[in-house]
Amino acid sequence: MLSLPILIKLLLLHSLALVCTAQSFGFFYLVQQPRLLLSHNRDFGIHGLWPNNDDGTYPSNCNPNEQFDPSQISNLLSQMQTEWGSLSCPSSNDTSFWEHEWDKHGTCSGLNEEAYFSAALTLKNQSNLLQTLTQAGITPNGSYTLSNVQSAIASGIGHTPYIQCNSDQSGNKQLFEVYLCVDTSASNFIDCPVFPTEGPCPSSIAFPSF
């Protein structure tokens, strides 16, 4: 049996190892985009849950020793396939997409694999973006002011989102992704310390059909 001093040393070494691999950060972005899900329901699906710093930088690929293990999320598989499917068209392998998200972002989250993916799914359903927008009269295949879209979501979750736009085939700007900010416990929505700079939107945008 190990003596108490040796056990204490081992615990200290383990704690130091955790400190070395863990990365500090300021908040998460929960990123969602409207699309046709595997269930054939039209809804917002998850792109990712991304640790970010308050200065706009972000950690990535924090621990190569924490390899993605699909067995760790077997209890979430059905929900993952429905709400966090691959973004590629035609759809690529979902598992490869989840592996990428875990390797790049999840290993920096301070959460284990199951907790990381479970937190994103819970937050996605708490935000309920499509219902929130629909209740405000903002529905797919329409054009709206950016401020009205932001206000509708802010009324639903209590915090202003960042809306990222891209262009349709005619060059018109349309809603592409919604960024919501989350505290470092991945439990609560918060005011965004900083907004992204990618894909800024004009004052009027389309909500594309999907």
Identify whether 198 is a catalytic site residue.
Answer: no
Identify whether 47 is a catalytic site residue.
Answer: yes
Structure tokens at 27: 């908040």
Nearest one of 38, 116, 25, 35 to 76, comparing CA atoms: 116
> Phi and psi dihedrals of 77, rounded to 5?
-55, -45
Rounded CA-CA distance 34/36 in Å is 7
H-run or E-run covering 8: helix 4-21
Give the active site residue among 47, 83, 113, 177: 47
Cβ contacts of 164 within 8 Å, gap of 6 or more: 176, 177, 178, 179, 196, 198, 199, 200, 201
CB 91 within 8 A of CB 82: no
Identify whether 101 is a catalytic site residue.
Answer: yes
Nearest one of 164, 160, 148 to 201, comparing CA atoms: 164
Give the active site residue among 83, 105, 113, 177: 105
DSSP string, 76-115: GHHHHHHHS---SSS---HHHHHHHHHHHTGGGTTS-HHH
| Residue 179 CB-half CA count within 13 A | 21
Q: Which residues are catalytic?
A: 47, 101, 105
